[in-house]
Amino acid sequence: MKEYSDKEIIECLRNRQSYVVHYLSDRYMPMIRLIVYPNGGTNEDAHDIFQDGLIIMLEKLDNKEFALTCKFKTFLYCVCEHLWKRVLDKRQAASNYLTRRNEPEVEKDFTEIIDQQTYEEIFSDVFETLDPISKKILTLYWQEISPQEIADKLGYTYGYVKKKKCEAQSELTEKVKKHPGYMLIKRTELAAREVVH
């Protein structure tokens, strides 16, 4: 896969070159999933955050006065992380409006910390159930190593690495959804929403 410099990426985005969007998706989607998955997000959430993040970046880049003061990757990460935090805040507020509105602030913060820890534990548990090859490929993807580099490093074909990565991500997402801890959190959130309504 051809590598693009930050300057080339910015120019391509300003000129609405669709191929650079595919490049960014292949290159940085693993990074976005790493933001989303530990907090109970899905593959669909990651794609939504990535798309919303790109839209924000396009709006900024359309301003010719705008100058990028950090790496493009860092900027994209910060934008997507901020967007995901807003999504989590909205979900938290919607599900816990009535059940938590009279609780002390400290207690609410403690509950949110526990939820965060639980999601991270679920993600870690599920990740460990994947086969060694899947774990290796995903880990390298999250380190932002290109598919071709992974293939060369592990001695597989490029096509196998791409296929295995998709299968591993799909398996990871499905197993997270079926994890008893995840299902318990979702049932609790559902019960909280029913109380609200």
Q: How far is CA 135 from CA 47, 127, 140, 151, 152, in A?
A: 21, 7, 9, 14, 17
Tens-digit pLDDT profile for residues 114-162? 556 677 777 788 888 889 998 888 888 777 788 888 899 899 998 898 8
Residue 73 contacts residue 28 (beta carbons within 8 Å): yes
Tracing tokens 């609405």 back to the chain, one arrives at 16
83: Cβ–Cβ under 8 A, 6 or more apart, which residues? 49, 52, 53, 56
Tens-digit pLDDT profile for residues 3-58? 888 888 888 888 888 888 888 888 888 888 888 888 788 888 888 999 998 888 88
Q: How far is CA 176 from CA 15, 122, 136, in A?
A: 39, 7, 18
